[in-house]
A and B are shown apart, each in its own frame.
Chain A
């Protein structure tokens, strides 16, 4: 069986996933009343990525054959789909919910940088504990919980950077440090997986070859279990890190643009504004500087 035949033959078309993504996409288009633009494209790209991650040959490979494919799937669910969905959500969709005090309180608790970061990064670490990971391969229900947790904590994590409401987002410098710390933390996990001994997740050592493509994978693509696990770790480490880097650069460029607009607005309105007074020294300090 060649790679192309494999792709043709194994697109699963899982009903729940297709219907769910379809509903999400159509619901969004209805909510924005057919207003198309860059933002809509971003959201729809996110839906497509979700569909691809959960319902494509990648999913088939991930569930049974290749830990590197599983890693690629998880990276899409954590690092690609949530940012695209958030970036595509316009502010007016969120504002009605935001008026409720309870929703705001919940968002503020979950959205505190430490909480969001821990949830985002911690989820990645927790699901790689061998006993938990093996449970997801054995049981469909646990697997569903895992993927659901990735999507939910992914949205919580990226909310701090890409929330539709501007004032909720982190300021630029903390945002860049937030992303840097997340990149370092997930890199460490990637490093551990790259250099761990083979067979960390035993199900991938000798997968049940229902589709008959094991020869293709082992001989044709040259992926032994050791190489496969190594590539999985490397995917988390380097391409994963690059996603965080791109986000950091995006935050930086966004910052320069806002600042330029703000400066232009300020200069236009008050060219001879007096120099602001220096900040007061707070009392109660041991050493006044």
Chain B
């Protein structure tokens, strides 16, 4: 490795913390330890979710079985699905990203270390809260997608669904925080020379995936909140008997649910895009196309949720549009698969365990993808909806796809994380048992689904072949269950006495392999120069670096003049982080607004908004809030002129005006409640109080932030001319004001006009 000259003003690296000990792990802010804890926690949940599956398969092994009661079975399939999706696949991929992305971009740590720890512990506690439901009256039993009205109070009297909601809210907030963290890391903390077009594909896919998380998870959070309000406060969002719409729950949930499945698969694509080139000893074929198709998949995934609802009755027009857009998603996915195959072609393939899982991924995911495209044909969907064909499809893409990719990633990065190599012998046992068990379990379920076996049934009648096929599936499931044991043994034995891995056991080319295994706390002593997509290749082969990428056509002529300063970040970290958060919150509010609009435009039952709302009084409130934005802006100006006293005064004015707004809102609510307009009375009450209530909570949060700034300003901590903290809080406060202007126009002005 060539020596890199340190710049003259380089400072000595501070000594690392004293390591070791459970306490240092629990309080760790190091992205590597947090990433490993993600992997450990999610693997534990994987074992539990797998046990739930084995119990279900035991029940289904023979017809008319009595191993489990229907109630127990319902709880198991709900918990199995919820666990695998929210506590295993999604957080495991986030855990990989947390560990690998800062290393791959050459950063010292992730952008917000404390928020990173928060994400991890929200996952752990959200999962524990969800599982506590077993002890507290029964686990949720309405399916992992908890359709209304089954999940509403009259039909589910136990508290299981409430635990489901609260557990998912906790993990959902953690996931959004992780996405913000990753976006800011990738956009602002890259090593010099690592332009966005030189990003390793895993990092690029994590970036696109994080944007998708910001689009989709707030939709889930809003839906969960609305369901919780229905259940706990007797509201009527999704309860048909109160005028609500159960179909609306389906729309809201699948508007989250479909992007969610792509969130679970995009980082897996990233892992495969790292593993296949390294073990074929070839750079990936068609980098630009793999990157562009990732963006296309993410975008299209936001537009296809209707294909989960073909049996709801959209009408031909709606069905047709969703069918076409669902078929379109196959194109970018196919582009990726073909590029991976082209990478393999002509390469010097080395079948390590990681590569075995990656190649198996290609085949299994393609099978799952093809059955998925078959669902886009509406008549086929009508036949196989809610049958075992769906179960087979989803497991091929989620297990044969995401889980296989996760295993490939585990074998690939385990040496980096621990400094020890995993045994290839045990690894191959693990792979083959998994592969055989997986296919034995799920391939036959395609046939069962076609034969008409419905899903989520605790038993089935003794129809010809059903018993035999289910028995095969159960046998496969147990093989799959046992396949975990060689892996666990492998990990245990390697941690104790595995061969030392060295910096770069696979001779790979991305930056995480340019430091020791495991990396020191500060990640890199020296970051290699980045002049291409494979920095370590360029370093090892200075005579033949990676060729410049192929010429591509695109919109519009020559580019701008070359900029000096390779890939320097143009946007500040705190500002970007706050903008991401605002984006997520904006989508959250859009969902609540959509609910209001939906019910307001339907036939009016109950309260007519115009009769009870006082637009004038609310208008005065609005003036207070807008004025508070102005005073905060003036505070920012006085900071620019380094006038600390004026800053304190303007901050105080902002807080007072914000508090006046909240008082005004409280009075508005009191008036309405006294006129017997409550959350539970009718749809207007439900939607009005939810929307304005959440806005009020955001104002309250803003006031707390402003109070902190006020305290800091009094303590003369702001030197000026700029402050990232004030700028970030100002962005948030202006956003909250903008949302109120929208809400005011929508609710009060519309009531006056319409």
Contact = CB atoms under 8 A, between A and B. Distances in A.
Contacts of B193: 275-276
A245 B300 contact: yes
A263 B538 CA distance: 14
Interface stretch (B85-93, B161-169, B316-324): B316-324
Given A278-B192, A284-B720, A284-B723, A171 B566 contact: no
A86 B424 CA distance: 58
Contacts of A277: 7, 192
B562 interface: yes
A35 B529 CA distance: 45
Interface in A157-176: 161-162, 166-167, 171-173, 176
A162 B556 contact: yes
Interface stretch (B339-347, B545-553, B623-631): B545-553
A95 interface: no
Given A260-B551, A284-B720, A166 B558 contact: yes
Contacts of B532: 263
Interface stretch (A16-24, A101-109, A136-144, A191-199): A191-199
Interface string A237-268: 11001101101111111111111111111110
B553 A257 contact: yes
A245 B551 CA distance: 22
A251 B718 CA distance: 40
Contact of B187 (A91, A173, A242, A284): A173
Given A264-B548, A276-B565, A284-B719, A234 B573 contact: no
B526 to A, nearest CB: 10
Contacts of A257: 551-554, 559
A267 B531 CA distance: 8
Contacts of A265: 562
Nearest to B562: A262
B313 interface: no
A243 B422 CA distance: 48
A191 B291 CA distance: 29
Contacts of B196: 172-173, 255, 259
Interface in A178-212: 180, 183-184, 187-188, 191-192, 194-197
Contact of B295 (A230, A242, A248, A285): A248
B594 interface: yes
A256 B549 contact: yes
A276 B192 contact: yes
Contacts of B241: none
Contacts of A96: none
A192 B554 contact: no
A23 B568 CA distance: 47
A176 B317 CA distance: 30
B303 interface: yes
Nearest to A174: B571
B617 interface: no
A175 B560 CA distance: 15
A238 B560 contact: no
Contacts of A2: none
A34 interface: no
B560 A166 contact: yes
B4 A253 contact: no
Contacts, number: 158
A237 B562 contact: no
Interface in B316-337: 316-318, 321, 324-325, 328
Contact of B556 (A87, A180, A267, A276): A87
A240 B299 CA distance: 13
B607 interface: no
Interface string B553-595: 1111111111101101110010000000000000000100010
A279 B569 contact: yes
B538 to A, nearest CB: 10
A36 interface: no
B590 to A, nearest CB: 6
B299 A183 contact: yes
A282 interface: yes
A94 to B, nearest CB: 13
Interface in B268-322: 288, 291-292, 295-296, 299-300, 302-303, 315-318, 321
A226 B560 CA distance: 49
Contacts of B594: 188, 191-192
B292 A241 contact: no
B554 A227 contact: no
Contact of B318 (A87, A187, A188, A194): A194
B233 interface: no
A184 B720 CA distance: 37
A284 B556 contact: no
Given A248-B299, A257-B551, A284-B722, A262 B559 contact: yes
Nearest to B555: A250
B190 to A, nearest CB: 11
A231 interface: yes
Given A227-B315, A237-B303, A278-B192, A253 B553 contact: yes
B559 A249 contact: no
A57 to B, nearest CB: 21
Contacts of B316: 227
B168 to A, nearest CB: 23
Nearest to B5: A274
B697 interface: no
B303 A249 contact: no
Interface in B586-610: 590, 594, 597-598, 601-602
B314 to A, nearest CB: 8
B488 interface: no
A253 B7 contact: no
Nearest to A268: B548
Given A166-B560, A261-B559, A275-B192, A253 B554 contact: yes
A197 B712 contact: no
A194 B321 CA distance: 11
B520 interface: no
Contacts of B211: 180
A264 B550 CA distance: 11
B573 A289 contact: yes
Interface in B90-135: none
A251 B291 CA distance: 13
Nearest to B726: A286
A245 B325 contact: no
Nearest to B574: A285
Contacts of A100: none
A180 B299 contact: yes
A157 B591 CA distance: 26
B601 A196 contact: yes
A195 B317 CA distance: 12
Nearest to B332: A249
Contacts of B549: 256, 260
Contacts of A286: 712, 717-718, 723-725
B291 A252 contact: yes
Interface string A144-165: 0000000000000000011000
A283 B7 contact: no
A238 B717 CA distance: 51
Given A253-B292, A285-B724, A259 B192 contact: no
Q: Which A-B residue pairs are the 7 nearest by beta carbons?
A: A258-B559, A254-B554, A253-B554, A259-B197, A250-B555, A264-B548, A234-B321
Interface of B: 4-5, 7, 187, 192-193, 195-197, 211, 215, 288, 291-292, 295-296, 299-300, 302-303, 315-318, 321, 324-325, 328, 529, 531-532, 548-563, 565-566, 568-570, 573, 590, 594, 597-598, 601-602, 712, 717-725
Interface of A: 87, 91, 161-162, 166-167, 171-173, 176, 180, 183-184, 187-188, 191-192, 194-197, 226-227, 230-231, 234, 237-238, 241-242, 244-245, 247-267, 274-279, 282-286, 289
5 contacts: A91-B557, A183-B299, A234-B318, A261-B559, A262-B559
Given A234-B321, A253-B292, A264-B548, 5 more contacts: A162-B555, A166-B560, A227-B316, A230-B318, A263-B531
